[in-house]
Amino acid sequence: MRSFRYERSTDPGRAVALVAGEPDAAYLGGGTNLVDLMKLGVARPGLLVDVTRLPLDSVESLPDGGLRIGATVRNSDLAAHPTVRRDFPVLARALLAGASGQLRNMATVGGNLLQRTRCAYFQDVTRPCNKRVPGDGCSALEGQNRDLAILGWSPQCVATHPSDMAVALVALDAVVEVLEPAGARDIPLAEFHRLPGERPDQETTLAPGGLITAVRIPALPFARRSTYRKARDRASFAFAAGSVAVALDLAGGLVRDVRLGWGAVAHRPWRPRLAEAALRGQPATEETFRLAAEEELAAARPLTHNAFKIPLIRNLTVRTLVDLAEDATDPAERDR
């Protein structure tokens, strides 16, 4: 591992100045991904600016019913937060589906969004990877790509974003509050992660040196009926083969409104807007749900080893919508 200087900051502006001042500086959050990447030689920062002691560790209810989550709130604290559990169960369930108890105690909200893909070729410095070394080539395109993208990929990169949390957040229209060298701004989470295109090394729209300070979730009353479903190769402590976030609002057997998120299918947490549009105003039936998922998945282009993800995501979406709809029409549940 390359030797690095270590600085600890308790002021966000000072932290940004430190990182923006050096091209090979990086922020250190919980370290669950970055420290590993440093051991692997994938990340080689010369300066680490520890942001875990910034005053950004609170979860604040907003007057309109939304929520502002500080960037250094740990994943386990957020998942256990009473307001999150009550008003945004999809977020709590997504967080709890990720990693292990120890890692959730360490990982921060900001770091979760900025974690890197677990594509095996990205993590192996002996193999070509355009994300690690632009122009190097993609080993995954013709290699072992079972776990990789089916949507939005490019010939330069077929990596997926590994976060569970971000799948729930993109469904909830979350906004990322950032502090950049030029000042503070808001970035909708749906626009925060880029598709790979020609520049898979550029993963987000965050300016160089930019720091995530918070994530804001707007009020969404019907998110009280929401959930997250994750398919993976073992029952716990594994990245998703595919996952769905769903919030459903029914009225008289019709879909009044719906929010969807798909995980492990693309370079960013995927917001299936075509499927959402196909559902609104339609009867809440298994057939409608299937047609909506298929409409979004018409654009999917499977790789050599991951065609299974298309029916997997379709079935996860349909089953989760059916379960939520049954929940909503169960008289015992309706007034809960």
Q: Which residues bind other proteins (CB under 8 A)?
A: 1, 3-6, 8, 28, 30-32, 35-36, 39, 48, 50, 52, 76, 79-80, 82, 85-86, 89, 92-93, 96-97, 99-103, 105-106, 235-237
Minimum distance from residue 190 beta carbon to other proteins (Å) = 25
Residue 254 Rama label (left phi>0; alpha psi -120 to 50; beta): beta
- Cα 244 from Cα 90, distance rounded (Å): 10
Q: Which two tokens stand for residue 72?
A: 């250094």
Name the residue nearer to other proteins (CB basis): 237 or 304. 237
Instruction: Report angle CA 133, 137, 142 to the nearest 5 degrees.
Output: 140
Smallest distance, other proteins to C-beta of residue 187, A: 27
> Closest CB to other proteins among 30 and 200?
30
Q: Which is nearer to other proteins, 235 or 298 (CB)?
A: 235
Given a contact cutoff of 8 angstroms between Cβ atoms, the answer to whether 40 and 132 are in contact is no
- Decide: 47 and 40 in contact? Cβ < 8 Å: no
C-beta of 274: minimal distance to other proteins in Å?
A: 29
Radius of gyration of the chain (CA): 20
Provide, rounded to whole angstroms, the least separation between the CB of residue 70 and other proteins: 17
Closer Cβ to other proteins, 31 or 302, answer by number: 31
In angstroms, give the least distance from the CB of 234 to other proteins. Answer: 8
Between CA 38 and CA 33 the distance in angstroms is: 9
Tell me the closest approach of the beta carbon of residue 276 to other proteins, in angstroms: 24
Cα-based distances in Å from 254 to 72, 90, 283, 319: 40, 21, 4, 17
Gap between the Cα atoms of 112 and 161, Å rounded: 10
- Nearer of residues 232 and 290 to other proteins, judged by Cβ: 232
Q: Which is nearer to other proteins, 91 or 175 (CB)?
A: 91
